[in-house]
Structure 1
Amino acid sequence: MTNYGQFCTVARGSEILGERWTPLVVRELLCGSTHFNEIRRGLPRMSATLLAQRLKKLEEVGVLRRVQEGNNQEYVLTPAGEELRPIILAIGHWGARWIGSRLRANQLDAGFLMWDIRRFAHIDEFPSDRKVVIHFFLNDARQRERHWWLVVANGEIDLCREDPGHELTLVVEASVASLTEIWTGDSDPDAEQQARRLLVRGGRRDTRDLWRWLGRSVFASSKVPVK
């Protein structure tokens, strides 16, 4: 851990929160992930060993606690961890406002994008009287990350990497960059469709309602004056 050698609490807090990956681990916990594998789904490029180290450190400094129930182990934020919520949100809104859509290719992550869509989709907006199955085809992603299925039924939402075999409601084809920019609010579906970077196939009403169902990233509402 970095030691700045200062008594200033900004320095001492940064010694903990400034470590690589730590703010993102806290982000995942704040988003509701409590199991190790859930946290990893939001951090697919972080090794399991390093994640275990960061979780242990956060436990040592009192940001989280481990809860053991039978064979299941959960990571739960303490009051100190919950106090980080406005800080993490502020970093996200600052990034959306002042960094915006200046994404490099190595910052595009199909797995994290789909996981983020899954956990923040507006489940209450989906039809309650039928199952909705959306097949996402990310045409420029790595082969094993090109196909995803979002299944919503009975108030529950699931993200599948294998075809669940249900009748499809919609098919969404896009590049990773295109869907990411829609999700972050840096572009909109109409613009992406006109540019032929996005194709949505399905019934007219469902096609119209798709973006109301999915919503946007929690940071999409931040104004982006810099492009």
Structure 2
Amino acid sequence: MKGYGQFCPIAKASEVLGERWTNLIIRELGSGSESFNALRRGLPLISPSLLSTRLKSLERAGVVQRDETDQGVNYRLTRSGKELFPIILELGAWGHRWVRSNMSQEDLDPSLLMWDIHRNVDVDYFKRISNKDRNVLLFEFTDYQTRYHRWWLVIQDDDVDVCLKDPGFEVDLHIITDTRTLTHYWMGDISMAKAKQEKHITIDGDTTLKKDITTWLGRNYFATIESAS
């Protein structure tokens, strides 16, 4: 990115953060993604080459560190990046209050939605109430009829895996909805009770999981922030 030609710290910071996708990469790293593939799961519309370019830029800026491991290459925030992450969250809080009121169809992405849900599921809840080694949740989106129609969350010990293909395990809970409704719930725009009352969400399966869905499913980090509009 071409510099602003100013000594102002805001200008210098913008030279690091002003490129497209950069702030979202920091969001993903701060949310626990470490591998290149995990970053792509949280950023499904970025090309591999562009992601690689942005990571290299953040490395040069001292925001990201690249580590070679036995399992492959991992990326993590440096001290500088960790100090930056809360600022990115504050940017998100401002966005939730002021510029998120209108979500177009292009903004609705089941891949990102399920990725965000999978890393926020309360695994401790399942440890407390389940007598099974594994719990499987099936999300079915009625507005998709092909590849993104069904998603499985497989919860085992401390791990939650998100699967686009049937993992072959018995399903404990089946949630049928559309992408817009679940996104609105996830972001705090509607309650689960209202979504079910208006028949935008139907839930079948284990009675306890069904009753406690708002406990174990949770919501997005920004969901409690009220819109300014």
1:101·1:186 contact (CA, 8 Å) conserved in 2? Answer: no
Q: Where do 5+ consecutive residues of structure 1 fail to align?
A: none
3-state DSSP of counterpart to 1:84? helix
**TM-score, scaled relative to structure 2:** 0.94
* 2:160 aligned partner: 157
152, 159, 173: which one pairs with 1:170?
173
Look up the equivalent residue of 1:139 and give its one-letter code.
Answer: T
* 1:6 aligned partner: 6
191, 194, 198: which one pairs with 1:195?
198
3-state DSSP of counterpart to 2:204? strand
* 1:84 aligned partner: 84
Tell me, in whole angstroms, the C-alpha distance in 2 between the residues paired with 1:155 and 1:67.
Answer: 24
Cα drift, residue 128 of structure 1: 4.5
Tell me, in whole angstroms, the C-alpha distance in 2 between the residues paired with 1:8 and 1:142.
Answer: 51
* 2:41 aligned partner: 41
Give me the CA root mean square deviation: 1.4
* 1:129 aligned partner: 131
Q: Where do 5+ consecutive residues of structure 2 fail to align?
A: none
Tell me, in whole angstroms, the C-alpha distance in 1 between the residues paired with 2:208 and 2:99.
Answer: 35
Look up the equivalent residue of 2:160 and give its one-letter code.
Answer: I
* 2:228 aligned partner: 225
Tell me, in whole angstroms, the C-alpha distance in 1 between the residues paired with 2:172 and 2:181.
Answer: 21
3-state DSSP of counterpart to 1:144? coil
Where in structure 2 are the equivalents of 1:114-125 lying within 5 Å? 114-125=114-125
3-state DSSP of counterpart to 2:26? helix
**TM-score, scaled relative to structure 1:** 0.95
* 1:51 aligned partner: 51
1:2·1:15 contact (CA, 8 Å) conserved in 2? Answer: yes
Q: Deviations over 1:124-173 (max 9, x none)?
A: 12234222211000111361111100111223211111111111111101
Tell me, in whole angstroms, the C-alpha distance in 2 between the residues paired with 1:122 and 1:11.
Answer: 40
**Cα separation, partners in 2 of 1:101 and 1:186, compared to 1, 3 Å:** farther
180, 201, 211: which one pairs with 1:208?
211
2:123·2:157 contact (CA, 8 Å) conserved in 1? Answer: no
1:33·1:39 contact (CA, 8 Å) conserved in 2? Answer: yes
Tell me, in whole angstroms, the C-alpha distance in 2 between the residues paired with 1:225 and 1:165.
Answer: 45
Stretch moving more, 157-166 or 170-179: 157-166
**Cα separation, partners in 2 of 1:142 and 1:90, compared to 1, 3 Å:** farther
1:134·1:149 contact (CA, 8 Å) conserved in 2? Answer: yes
Counting aligned pairs with the same residue, the percent is 42
1:118·1:158 contact (CA, 8 Å) conserved in 2? Answer: yes
Stretch moving more, 100-109 or 175-184: 100-109
Alignment coverage as a number of residue pairs: 226
Q: Deviations over 1:24-68 (max 9, x none)?
A: 011111011111000000000000000000000000111111111
